[in-house]
C-alpha cells in the first residue's frame, strides 16, 4: 500500500465531463484542481485535448478541448504541486496543433485507444514525447480484447517511450481474477523496459475501488480515481477512498472532503452518477453503457426488468 513509485491521477473533470458535455463552471474546475493539489495528488486530468474541427464546439464546455488559455486560468494562483494532464483520443486530435511542452502547463498527455489502434497510439506517443511531454497509453474496453491482439500490442508498446500503460475497465465488467491476470500480463511485457502499469476502473458492479486495490496488489503504480466517484454512467473509483487506502503520508484527505461538501453535493442535485441497476446490467453483460444512459434519460428510467429483458434479447 505504500510504494514511492505510486502515482495518483485524478480524472474528475475529464471522465466526469462525459455526463454533462464538460459544461463545468471554471470555478468548479479550479476548485477541483486546488483540492487535488492540497491533497497531494500527483496529476489532475483537466479534460480532453480534442480538435474543435471534429465537434460542434458550442455544445461543449471548455474542458472538452483544453485550450492553453483555459488551462492557465485554472492553475493560476494554485501552488503547482500537482501536475496537469490531458487526454487525447486517437483519431480525434490534430497533433501538429499541440504546442511544445515548453509553451504549455500540461505535463502528461494520456493517449486513449482500443487494442486495434495501439500502433496509432504509439505514433502519438512518439510525437508527443518529441514535443517534451510524458505520456501514457490507456487501452480502453480491455474486457473486450482478445489476448493475442493484446499481447502483440503490449510487445510493441514495450519498445516505445511511453511512461505507463493502463488496464482500462471501460464497461465495469471485470472481477479481481481478471484484474490479476491483466496486470501480470502487462507487467510481463512492460516491466523489463521500466514502463509502469496503470488501472482505470469503472464502478458498474461496485468494484471500481476493489479492483483498483487488486491492481495495486499485483504491481500497478499508476492509479486513476475521481472525486466522489463522478464519471460516465456509474462513475469511477472514488478518489477519497483511494487516498484513504494508500499509506503515503503525502496524501491528505481533508481537502477532498471539503470540495465534496462545497461543490459535489450541489452538483449531484443537477446531474446523475453512481451505482444504478441499468449500469450494473451493462457491466455484467460486458457492454458499453450507452443503452443505460439512454434509459436514464427517458420516461421509463426505472423499468429495470424491462431494460434487462430487452438488452438480453438483443444479445
SS (H, E, C) 254-280: HHHHHHHHHHHHHHHCCCCCCCCHHHH
Q: Which of 17, 19, 21, 13 is nearest to 71 (CA)?
A: 13
* Claim to verify: residue 93 and residue 242 sit in the same structural domain: yes
Is the model's pLDDT at 314 over the cut of 80? no
Q: Which of 39, 32, 43, 49 is nearest to 7 (CA)?
A: 43
CA 235 – CA 110 distance, rounded (Å): 19
Extract the C-alpha cell encoding 65. Answer: 478541448
CA 105 – CA 56 distance, rounded (Å): 26
Query: How much is the pLDDT for 56?
Result: 86
Question: Residue 171's domain is classified under what CATH number?
Answer: 3.20.20.70
* Claim to verify: residue 248 and residue 292 sit in the same structural domain: no
Query: How much is the pLDDT for 1?
Result: 63
* Claim to verify: residue 113 and residue 255 sit in the same structural domain: yes
Query: How much is the pLDDT for 301?
Result: 96
* Claim to verify: residue 53 and residue 155 sit in the same structural domain: yes
* Claim to verify: residue 192 and residue 120 sit in the same structural domain: yes
Give residue-wise pLDDT tens across range 195-216. 999 999 999 999 999 999 999 9
Beta bridge partners of 201: 169
Q: Classify residue 59: in a domain, yes or no.
A: yes
Mean pLDDT of 137-158: 98
Q: Classify residue 154: in a domain, yes or no.
A: yes
Give residue-wise pLDDT tens across range 210-236. 999 999 999 999 999 999 999 999 999
CA 84 – CA 61 distance, rounded (Å): 18
> What does DSSP assign to residue 8?
E
Q: Classify residue 2: in a domain, yes or no.
A: no
* Claim to verify: residue 200 and residue 86 sit in the same structural domain: yes
Q: Classify residue 283: in a domain, yes or no.
A: yes
Q: Classify residue 144: in a domain, yes or no.
A: yes
| Contact yes or no for 126/160 (Cβ under 8 A) | yes
* Claim to verify: residue 155 and residue 284 sit in the same structural domain: no
| Contact yes or no for 277/304 (Cβ under 8 A) | yes
CA 309 – CA 313 distance, rounded (Å): 6
Segment holding 239, helix H or strand E:
helix 239-245
- pTM over the 0.95 mark: yes
- pLDDT band at residue 173, thresholds of 50, 70 and 90? very high
Beta bridge partners of 28: none
* Claim to verify: residue 181 and residue 34 sit in the same structural domain: yes
Q: Classify residue 1: in a domain, yes or no.
A: no
Indicate the Cα dihedral angle 45, 50, 55, 61, nearest 10°.
30
* Claim to verify: residue 71 and residue 100 sit in the same structural domain: yes
Number of domains in the chain: 2
Among 248, 268, 288, residue at a domain's last position: 268
* Claim to verify: residue 163 and residue 36 sit in the same structural domain: yes
What SS3 class is residue 143?
helix
Q: Classify residue 177: in a domain, yes or no.
A: yes
* Claim to verify: residue 289 and residue 203 sit in the same structural domain: no
* Claim to verify: residue 11 and residue 58 sit in the same structural domain: yes
Extract the C-alpha cell encoding 236. Answer: 469511477
Query: Can you give the residue range of the structural domain that contains 295?
Result: 277-314
Amino acid at each position: 500500500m505504500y510504494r514511492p513509485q505510486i502515482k495518483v491521477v485524478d480524472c474528475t473533470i475529464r471522465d466526469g465531463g462525459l455526463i454533462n458535455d464538460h459544461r463545468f463552471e471554471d470555478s468548479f474546475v479550479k476548485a477541483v484542481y486546488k483540492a487535488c493539489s492540497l491533497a497531494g495528488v500527483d496529476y489532475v486530468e483537466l479534460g480532453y485535448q480534442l480538435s474543435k474541427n471534429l465537434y460542434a464546439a458550442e455544445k461543449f464546455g471548455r474542458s472538452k478541448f483544453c485550450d492553453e488559455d483555459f488551462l492557465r486560468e485554472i492553475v493560476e494562483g494554485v501552488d503547482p504541486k500537482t501536475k496537469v494532464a490531458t487526454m487525447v483520443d486517437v483519431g480525434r486530435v490534430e497533433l501538429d496543433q499541440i504546442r511544445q511542452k515548453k509553451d504549455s502547463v500540461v505535463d502528461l498527455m494520456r493517449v486513449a485507444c482500443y487494442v486495434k489502434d495501439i500502433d496509432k497510439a504509439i505514433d502519438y506517443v512518439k510525437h508527443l514525447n518529441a514535443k517534451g511531454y510524458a505520456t501514457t497509453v490507456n487501452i480502453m474496453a480491455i474486457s473486450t480484447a482478445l489476448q493475442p491482439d493484446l499481447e502483440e500490442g503490449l510487445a510493441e508498446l514495450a519498445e516505445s517511450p511511453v511512461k505507463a500503460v493502463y488496464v482500462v475497465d471501460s464497461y465495469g465488467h471485470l472481477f479481481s481474477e481478471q484484474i490479476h491476470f491483466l496486470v501480470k500480463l502487462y507487467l510481463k511485457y512492460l516491466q523489463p523496459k521500466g514502463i509502469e502499469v496503470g488501472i482505470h476502473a469503472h464502478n458498474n458492479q461496485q468494484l471500481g475501488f476493489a479492483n483498483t486495490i487488486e491492481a495495486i496488489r499485483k504491481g500497478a503504480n499508476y492509479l486513476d480515481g475521481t472525486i466522489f466517484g463522478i464519471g460516465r454512467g456509474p462513475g469511477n473509483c472514488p478518489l477519497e477512498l483511494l487516498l484513504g487506502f494508500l499509506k503515503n503520508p503525502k496524501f491528505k484527505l481533508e481537502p477532498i472532503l471539503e470540495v465534496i461538501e462545497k461543490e459535489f453535493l450541489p452538483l449531484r442535485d443537477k446531474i446523475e452518477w453512481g451505482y444504478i441497476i441499468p449500469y450494473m446490467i451493462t457491466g455484467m453483460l460486458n457492454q458499453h453503457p450507452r443503452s443505460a444512459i439512454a434509459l436514464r434519460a427517458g420516461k421509463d428510467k426505472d423499468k429495470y426488468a424491462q431494460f434487462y429483458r430487452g438488452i438480453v434479447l438483443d444479445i
